[in-house]
Structure 1
Amino acid sequence: MDGRLCSKVTCAREAVATLTYDYGDQMAALGPLGGTNHPNAHDLCSQHAERVSVPTGWIVVRHEAMRA
């Protein structure tokens, strides 16, 4: 474990994925844990990565490596 935890409030699980947003294209991208802890990215544990929800009308792009 590299010390990065899930960004969700009260979650203390290890982060395994990174979520980023593209507001202009109304899109969220979810992929493997990013190489660095970026302030505009949200690290998520596996449970929260599976349950990602976005605003109505937005799409979620999941990196192939995240699919089971």
Structure 2
Amino acid sequence: MRDRLCSKVGCAREATSTLTYDYGDQMAALGPLGRTGDPHAHDLCAIHTERMSVPKGWVVVRHETLRV
């Protein structure tokens, strides 16, 4: 299986997280890389995950995996 790459144009880094939007609720959800690619989601590398921003007034929900 081929590793999934960051969705940002020109970025060839391996994706580490998945970003989805809910335009109606003005919310973005950012979490661990989804199991499969979703055409309605954006896979991001670690650098673009940290730099991610949303429009003013939007809420960002960050889901993190538990590390034991």
Aligned match of 1:37: 37
CA contact (8 A) 2:32 2:64 kept: no
Shift of 1:2: 3.8
Aligned match of 1:54: 54
Within 5 Å, give how 1:1-68 maps onto structure 2: 2-65=2-65
Shift of 1:64: 2.6
Aligned length: 66
Residue aligned with 1:47, SS: helix
Q: In structure 1, list runs of 5 or more residues that go unmatched.
A: none
Supply the AA of the counterpart residue of 1:44.
Answer: L
Deviant stretches of 4+, over 3 Å: none
What TM-score do you get using the length of structure 2 for normalisation? 0.90
Q: Deviations over 1:6-63 (max 9, x none)?
A: 0000000000000000011100000000011000000000000011100110011001
Question: Quick one: distance in 1 between partners of 2:10 and 2:26?
Answer: 27
The structure having more radius of gyration, on CA atoms, is 2
Residue aligned with 2:65, SS: helix
CA contact (8 A) 2:5 2:13 kept: yes
What TM-score do you get using the length of structure 1 for normalisation? 0.90
